[in-house]
């Protein structure tokens, strides 16, 4: 889990790290949804040779596929995930201020803590219900 979090933070911080995940991609560097533009818009590659255009946002974890050559990664990202802090930036990461980068990483960490809390709470409720059933029978 710690390794997974570290990887996620690396992808949040580095466009180059996101770009390096694209082992295959059906579009050229001259097309609007080139690897560089996909990485710039926050996406990491999650597909395979059989599924060559699946990506996931490193911030909101939204998964997208069925890209078309003229799709614009930033606008597609915002269209499918309008609350995503990364997509809301609408500009390459090297134009972000340090404050903006910190804000995005902070929000990511808060979301992860909340997600983990909800997961543990649901697990605790499930155990509680099982214990109640055991006591009743
Ligand atoms: Zn996103």
Predicted pLDDT at 137: 85
CA of 13 to the centre of ligand 1 (A): 14
Q: Which domains does the chain have, with CATH numbers?
A: 1-136 (1.10.1170.10)
Measuring CA to CA, which residue among 37, 36, 87 is closest to residue 61?
87
The answer to whether residues 38 and 131 touch, using CB atoms and an 8 Å cutoff, is: no
| Residue 37 to residue 15: CA distance in whole angstroms | 10
Strand partners, 57: 43
Q: What is the DSSP string of 34-85?
A: -HHHHHHTTEEE---SSSTT-EEETTT--EE----TT--HHHHHHHH-TT-H
Sequential pLDDT tens for the chain (137 residues): 578 778 888 898 899 999 999 999 999 999 999 999 999 999 999 999 999 999 999 999 999 999 999 999 999 999 999 999 999 999 999 999 999 988 998 999 898 899 999 999 999 999 999 999 999 98
CA of 104 to the centre of ligand 1 (A): 11
Predicted pLDDT at 12: 86
pLDDT tens digits, one per residue of 115-132: 999 999 999 999 999 999
Q: How far is CA 23 from the centre of its chain?
A: 18
| Residue 59 to residue 62: CA distance in whole angstroms | 8
CA of 123 to the centre of ligand 1 (A): 27
Task: Quickly count: other Cβ atoms within 10 Å of residue 84's Cβ.
Answer: 19
CA of 49 to the centre of ligand 1 (A): 24
Task: Quickly count: other Cβ atoms within 10 Å of residue 83's Cβ.
Answer: 9
Task: Quickly count: other Cβ atoms within 10 Å of residue 76's Cβ.
Answer: 20
């Amino acid at each position: 889990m710690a390794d997974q979090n570290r990887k996620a933070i690396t992808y949040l911080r580095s466009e180059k790290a996101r770009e390096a995940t694209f082992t295959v991609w059906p579009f050229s560097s001259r097309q609007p949804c080139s690897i560089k533009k996909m990485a710039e818009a926050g996406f990491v590659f999650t597909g395979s040779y059989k599924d060559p255009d699946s990506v996931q946002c490193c911030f909101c974890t939204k998964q997208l596929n069925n890209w078309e050559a003229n799709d614009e990664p930033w606008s597609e990202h915002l269209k499918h995930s309008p609350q995503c802090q990364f997509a809301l930036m609408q500009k390459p990461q090297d134009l972000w201020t340090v404050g903006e980068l910190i804000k995005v990483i902070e929000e990511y960490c808060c979301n992860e803590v909340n997600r983990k809390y909800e997961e543990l709470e649901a697990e605790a409720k499930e155990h509680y219900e099982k214990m109640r059933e055991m006591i009743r029978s």
